[in-house]
Amino acid sequence: MKNVGEALATWCWKVSSLILISVILSGCQSASLKPIGHMVPENKWFFLSQSGDQSGTWKSEDLILDYKYDRYQSQLNISGVIHFAGRIINSFTIIQYFHLDAIPVNAQGKVLDMISLTTAGDLNAVYDGPVEFNKILTLPPDTAAIAFSYRGRASGSGSYFEGGFMDFWEYPVY
């Protein structure tokens, strides 16, 4: 009788563990690195013309992005120059890293993709001017507008402990 009780307890423990693992794994499926299906507020994106050359300026508290693009159907040739704001370049000498993404959205602001535009930075290089990029993107169907997302770190020296550092970002997705 004792062996039957131990076997039943072992079986119950295994089944409970299997159920718990299944619940955890099913929850992880919804954790995506790309925010596809989420929303971006309209004040964070700009509409794309259906064709032709366009240009503009996008500003945040951390940077100014002067961009130009040419769209032909689903192809977008986009280039830009990124100037970091005074709060960064007047306080720090090094851009340790910087990454900029384009977020295509539909007319309702629903995220269709997240596409890398540029990555820049050198852990020990003194900031020496604006960051430039030129990229050809294939836009998802129904793309009406694009938002920008970025993340970066500036520091006063090559060390985290000397000269201080500042992380900065813009992630308009909710």
- Please state which of the four CATH numbers 3.40.50, 3.90.320, 1.10.3470, 2.60.40 is assigned to the domain occupying 42-170: 2.60.40
Nearest-angstrom CA–CA distance, 54 and 28: 40
- In the chain, the N- to C-terminal Cα span, in Å, equals 57
Q: Convert 160-169 to b/e letters by CB count within 10 Å (16 or more is b).
A: eeeeebeebe
Each residue's pLDDT tens digit, 26-59: 444 444 468 999 999 999 999 999 888 999 999 9
Q: How far apart are alpha carbons 99 and 138 in whole angstroms?
A: 19
Domain limits, the chain: 1-31, 42-170
Are 102 and 124 within 8 A, CB to CB? no
pLDDT digits (tens, 9 = 90+) for 71-130: 998 999 999 999 999 999 998 888 889 999 999 999 999 999 999 999 987 756 677 789
- What is residue 124's predicted lDDT score, i.e. its pLDDT? 60
Q: pTM, whole model, 2 decimals?
A: 0.77
CA atoms within 13 A of residue 54's CA, in its CB half-sphere: 17
154 vs 18, higher pLDDT = 154
Distance (Å, whole) CA 56 – CA 64: 11
Contact (Cβ atoms closer than 8 angstroms) between residue 143 and residue 105:
yes
Neighbours of 148 (CB within 10 A): 23
Report the alpha-carbon distance of residue 69 to residue 117 in Å, rounded.
Answer: 13
